[in-house]
Amino acid sequence: MTDDNKGHIPTNLRLLLLVEQIAQEGAPVSPSALSAALGLPKPTVHRILATAEEEGFLQRDLDGRSFGPGSRLRKLSANALSSQRVRTERLLVLKKLAEEIGETCNLAAPGRYGMVYLDRVETHWPLRIQLPVGTRVPFHCTASGKMYLSSMPPDKLQRLLQSMQLEQKTSRSIVKPEQLMTELAETRERGFATDNQEFMEGMAAVAVPICDDHGRLLTTLSIHAPILRHDLDDLTLSIDTVRAGAKRLEEIVQ
């Protein structure tokens, strides 16, 4: 938006532009920052934020002042990404990847309480792990969840881990915040996340990020397999193939 247009936003566009501004920031935004960015009076911004929060499109951050996407906005985003043309293209990418690797591929997006599966293409093997579209899985013990956590700013990650319940899903689950922080630092450095039977006994997984044109994580692409066929070391050997699939998916959504 140009400076000339600030302060002259039609009423029916104000909520949309405010939500767009929050989405572009990629982090919770304060009312004063939104007022400055959009050129709207602070009382107007507060009224719009209050309505959007009440309806579930936005939610307050842990500081009690800033706002980020709410459940309805996240669902809207997921539905937009699931539009027929885009979904057809991305399913073709997932199908090709599943055929190349021979295991199930998943797309997941961060929700409020965990990662939510948006799409998946199953392996042809009769032995498989059933995690259908719409399944919500924890952040701390899944490859997709750890990939998302590793992308967060350190201060926000620290606050989130302090408020999260790190449930012991298996004997390998990381449930101590300091150990999880170390794992996430390693994830950030290598550029992919792993799950070595941490979420489910007998299952291994790897995940890579799918980013927007600003390099911010949108969703994750992961593959998982029973360790009877592929242990974590086997799956890690396919990480370049998974990254190539993520790159193709980024080209679809950008």
Count of residues making up the chain: 254
Instruction: Give 37-60 pLDDT, tens digit per residue.
Output: 999 999 999 999 999 999 889 998
Instruction: Give 103-134 pLDDT, tens digit per residue.
Output: 889 999 988 789 988 888 877 665 556 666 77
> Is the pTM value of this prediction over 0.85?
no
- What is the architecture, at CATH level 2, of domain 3-69? Orthogonal Bundle (1.10)
Place of tokens 């009076």: 41
| 75-253 CATH | 3.30.450.40
Contacting residues for 16 by C-beta, under 8 A, at least 6 apart: none
Neighbour-count burial of 35, counting CB atoms closer than 10 A to its CB (0-12 exposed, 13-18 middle, 19+ buried): middle
Q: Give me the residue spans of the domains in the chain.
A: 3-69, 75-253
Neighbour-count burial of 247, counting CB atoms closer than 10 A to its CB (0-12 exposed, 13-18 middle, 19+ buried): middle
